[in-house]
Amino acid sequence: MLVKVFKQLKLIFSDFPKKHFYCLVGGILFLLLIIGLSRVELQNSSQKKELSSEIAIEDLVPRIQDADDKTSFNQKKIAEVKRNDSLFSILKRLGVKDDSIYDLIYSPNSELLTQIKIGKTIEVEINELNEVENLKYIEDFRSGVIAKKVKSFECTENAESKVVSGKRKCIYLVEKYKLQTEKLKVFKKVTITNSLYVDGLREGLPDSVIMDLVYIFGWDIDFVHDIRPGDSYSLIYEEIYVDGERKINGNILIAEFINRNRTHTAIRFTLPNGSSEYFSPKGRNVKKAFLRSPVKFSYISSKYNLKRRHPILHKIRAHTGVDYAASRGTPIRATGDGTIVYAEKKGGYGNLIEIKHTEDYSTRYAHLDKFHSGIKLGKKVKQSDIIGYVGRTGTATGDHLHYEFRVNGKHTDPLTVKFPNANPINELEKNKFLENSEKIIKDLKNYQSLSF
């Protein structure tokens, strides 16, 4: 076959200068050879797997390092903390010998390594005797616990006092570490020509920051229907650096959204209880006191209708709530903060939960398959907490959530009612907030004026 190709090519390119011609043919043959080889490789992929597992990278690394370094037999291994893991089980899995694990466990401060969490990472350097040379438990991007083998480490009096049954040795120095972090403020201004998201990405906004923005303004702006080309937003957010390297996109400090000539501003403020929320420059909470829908990923199968013919009872009976069709077991969220005032069976409602939010507002969730654990009379819940699961208990033809919204004891259509805002800035905090917001608004204005 190759000869044939060769002849054909010779015919086609017979006009070419000879040198060029041979280069070209040589090149083509080389390509064919590569394609042929890669086919063979693909066919033998199972063999290939076997081969590569025989020469594991870990085996190669020490040999390569050996050339220029005496401590080269050390291997660096990384493990993720899994369910039911302990320091012992992880080190055992990585091939560390028992003696070395005990040396570590009996070293002072080793209790810092007993609270390792699922999903976190442990990096271990293991020497040629399968002993831990050093170990790093990475709690987050800036902190964790480090253990180092120390040759002539003297136990301090303090450490000695923690000796357990005389086995404690001072082989490893175990301590917490914290890396230096630096926060940088970043300003961006985005004019929407396409969509909030696409235009944001184009201006270099990180995905997570755009998501935060959608969450902050999602209470006031319908991002599917309300956005128009020419709308714009600007914001200041933080980036967190460790050793000069960007590690995390921090929080949005202030954001301004101009939607059809209406300006919405949200300013981040940390409350005395440590939680942070967003407020308007005057201290109004940007959040509403209620979520529009208690179930995600559902569709409305029956609206609020005071003249509906009931599907089971076959007579006119007002439908005083909204039905959300969702598969059995779909989590149901409390639409607002409040107290559970009912959580048991109630006739046609089946399993029913009622939440009292304020003197004026209450919500009901019916036909639940079951209640979420811990949900009982008197329990306080926060907005978005899971309270139960969709089912079809009581008078129901299929799996759905029947949701009612009451204002002053009267049924109200939850799809059209105007929700009150969540709690504004507390009077005690007001001055501090205003001072802070004045400063950050000034910053935003400065950046905006510079960006043109």
Rounded to a whole number of angstroms, the minimum distance from the CB of residue 319 to Zn ion is 6
Rounded to a whole number of angstroms, the minimum distance from the CB of residue 301 to Zn ion is 8
Contact between 199 and 191 under an 8 Å Cβ cutoff? The reply is yes
| Strands (DSSP E) found in 161-298 | 172-178, 181-191, 232-242, 245-259, 262-270, 276-279
Contact between 375 and 387 under an 8 Å Cβ cutoff? The reply is yes
Which residue lies nearer to Zn ion by CB, 106 or 365? 365
Which residue lies nearer to Zn ion by CB, 287 or 402? 402
**Which listed range, 31-39, 61-69, 246-254, 400-408, lies at the site for Zn ion (CB under 5 A)?**
400-408
Which residue lies nearer to Zn ion by CB, 108 or 294? 294
Q: Which two tokens stand for residue 230?
A: 């020419």
Rounded to a whole number of angstroms, the minimum distance from the CB of residue 351 to Zn ion is 14
**Which listed range, 166-174, 271-279, 292-300, 401-409, lies at the site for Zn ion (CB under 5 A)?**
401-409
Q: Give residues 70-89 in contact with Zn ion (rule: CB under 5 A).
A: none
Which residue lies nearer to Zn ion by CB, 372 or 402? 402
Q: Which two tokens stand for residue 200?
A: 């944001």
**Which listed range, 239-247, 376-384, 396-404, 429-437, lies at the site for Zn ion (CB under 5 A)?**
396-404
Rounded to a whole number of angstroms, the minimum distance from the CB of residue 411 to Zn ion is 11
Q: Give residues 210-229 in contact with Zn ion (rule: CB under 5 A).
A: none
Contact between 145 and 174 under an 8 Å Cβ cutoff? The reply is yes
- Residue type for 52, please? S
User: Which residue number has the CB closest to Zn ion?
Assistant: 402
| End-to-end CA, the chain | 66
Contact between 107 and 168 under an 8 Å Cβ cutoff? The reply is yes
**Which listed range, 34-42, 49-57, 186-194, 313-321, lies at the site for Zn ion (CB under 5 A)?**
313-321
Site string for Zn ion, 316-345 (x = CB under 5 A): -----x-x----------------------
Rounded to a whole number of angstroms, the minimum distance from the CB of residue 291 to Zn ion is 18
Rounded to a whole number of angstroms, the minimum distance from the CB of residue 396 to Zn ion is 8
**Which listed range, 73-81, 273-281, 384-392, 399-407, lies at the site for Zn ion (CB under 5 A)?**
399-407
Which residue lies nearer to Zn ion by CB, 200 or 321? 321
User: Which SS3 state, helix, strand or coil, does residue 393 take?
Assistant: coil
Which residue lies nearer to Zn ion by CB, 179 or 313? 313
Sign of CA dihedral 432, 435, 437, 440: negative
Which residue lies nearer to Zn ion by CB, 294 or 321? 321
Contact between 371 and 353 under an 8 Å Cβ cutoff? The reply is yes
Give the DSSP H or E segment for 232.
Answer: strand 232-242
What is each CA distance from 281 to 97, 193, 271, in whole angstroms? 61, 27, 15
**Residue among 112, 124, 132, 103 at smallest CA distance from 174:** 112
Rounded to a whole number of angstroms, the minimum distance from the CB of residue 323 to Zn ion is 4
**Residue among 348, 352, 357 at smallest CA distance from 369:** 352
| Residue entry with tokens 């120095």 | 173
Which residue lies nearer to Zn ion by CB, 323 or 337? 323
**Which listed range, 155-163, 213-221, 225-233, 395-403, lies at the site for Zn ion (CB under 5 A)?**
395-403
Phi, psi of 271 (to 5 degrees): -80, 165
Q: How many CA atoms lie within 13 A of 225 on its CB side?
A: 2
372 touching Zn ion, by CB under 5 A: no
Which residue lies nearer to Zn ion by CB, 168 or 402? 402
Which residue lies nearer to Zn ion by CB, 179 or 318? 318
Q: Which two tokens stand for residue 350?
A: 């089946």
Rounded to a whole number of angstroms, the minimum distance from the CB of residue 308 to Zn ion is 9
Q: How many CA atoms lie within 13 A of 91 on its CB side?
A: 28
d(CA 72, CA 171): 21
How many positions of this chain bind Zn ion (CB under 5 A)? 3
Rounded to a whole number of angstroms, the minimum distance from the CB of residue 325 to Zn ion is 10
Which residue lies nearer to Zn ion by CB, 321 or 388? 321
Rounded to a whole number of angstroms, the minimum distance from the CB of residue 331 to Zn ion is 19
Partner residues linked to 322 by β-bridges: 403
d(CA 278, CA 427): 16
Contact between 324 and 298 under an 8 Å Cβ cutoff? The reply is yes
**Residue among 367, 366, 363 at smallest CA distance from 406:** 363
Rounded to a whole number of angstroms, the minimum distance from the CB of residue 322 to Zn ion is 7
| Among 402, 422, 425, 437, contact with Zn ion (rule: CB under 5 A) | 402
- Interacting residues toward Zn ion by CB under 5 A: 321, 323, 402
